[in-house]
Amino acid sequence: MDSNTQANSSSSNTNSRKPWIRRHPILTTITLLILVLFTSVFLYFWLRPYFSTFDRPEKGELSYSIPSPNGEYTAEIYGVPYGGAAGGVTIWVDVNKTNAPEGSTVKTIYRAEHHGNNHLEWESENTIRIENWNEYTDETITLNMDEEIYDGRRWACKSLRMKDQYVRCIAPEK
């Protein structure tokens, strides 16, 4: 009887020496999947600004368009809604060559939240004043379209993908 008790105790000792992972494979798998999911979501939101571009999912609605003083360029301001019922509108300013074929290169130079009062005005051949303000916030700025961009989200200024598309990136102060 003693040998039988020793055999039972040695098998229970062997079973208790197995790692927790091998004793609970389903729970371990679920835990690892949840951990990978949370890590992926965290990394996505943490790294998103560094890989951001001025690309947008849809063109939006053209609000205003104005040709440059020499007629070579046209500046267009678009409003793109986001977020459904609780969302808002992001405004984008694109500059393109007037006589270029349809679908040619368009340069986006401005992105910000829509504040209510928008206006475009050319100050010279390459300098444009973009007004976007209300009584609480003013994101009005004058940009040299060849060298500068403005990003109200501050993502383009951090972006590694956009570093070669501008000389100076301007963002609102915190």
- Give the three-class secondary structure for 4: helix
**Residue carrying structure tokens 């001025």:** 54
Identify which of 117, 123, 60, 66 has the alpha carbon closest to the alpha carbon of residue 92: 60
Q: What share of the chain is helix, strand, coil (3-state, %, to 5)?
A: 30, 35, 35
pLDDT digits (tens, 9 = 90+) for 16-43: 688 988 899 999 999 999 999 999 999 9
Burial 130-144 (b: 16+ CB within 10 A, else e): bbbeeeeeebebebb
Q: Give the predicted TM-score (pTM) of the model.
A: 0.78
pLDDT digits (tens, 9 = 90+) for 45-85: 999 989 988 888 788 899 989 999 999 999 999 999 988 88
Q: Please state the rounded mean pLDDT for residues 124-134.
A: 95
Q: Do 128 and 143 meet the contact criterion of CB atoms below 8 Å apart? A: yes
